[in-house]
Structure 1
Amino acid sequence: MTDSKNINNPVGQGGGHRKKLSRAERQNNGPHRNLDRRGAADRKAELVRKMREKAEAADAAKAAAEQPATETDHS
């Protein structure tokens, strides 16, 4: 009698059994995913830092451009 078909005993597939996956790995939350998330968080933090630096530079340039115009006296 044949065994029932499941992930560790696929019917019609020759060869050995597949590695038994943990519950977290079956839900695509295994240790490899944690590393992916950490890398994504690092990339996002770097992007946010760059955006803040650009915004601060733009604000500083805008303030520098406005400052001489407000200091001139037309009396």
Structure 2
Amino acid sequence: MTDSKNINNPVGQGGGQRKRQSRAERQNNGPHRNLDRRGAAEQKAELVRKMREKARAAEEAAQTDDGSAQS
């Protein structure tokens, strides 16, 4: 009788042709995902920094416009 077919024991694949995956890797929680998360966090931090700089520049421009209009 053949063994059950699952990711770690695929029928017809033979032994050792596929890397055994841990439960975390099967749930897409492997070490590669940590790198993806770190990269995404860095991108988000960069985007937030740029948005804050733009907002600060716009605020300063509005203040200088107000200051010149009042005098």
TM-score where L is the length of structure 2:
0.86
Partner of 2:55: 55
The more displaced of 9-18 and 37-46 is 9-18
RMSD: 1.6
Structure 2, unmatched stretches of 5+, are none
- The AA in structure 1 aligned to 2:20 is K
Structure 1, unmatched stretches of 5+, are none
Structure with more relative contact order (C-alpha pairs < 8 Å, separation 6 or more):
2
d(CA) in 2 for partners of 1:4 and 1:69?
A: 79
TM-score where L is the length of structure 1:
0.82
Query: Which has the higher Rg, Structure 1 or Structure 2?
Result: 1
Deviant stretches of 4+, over 3 Å = 12-17
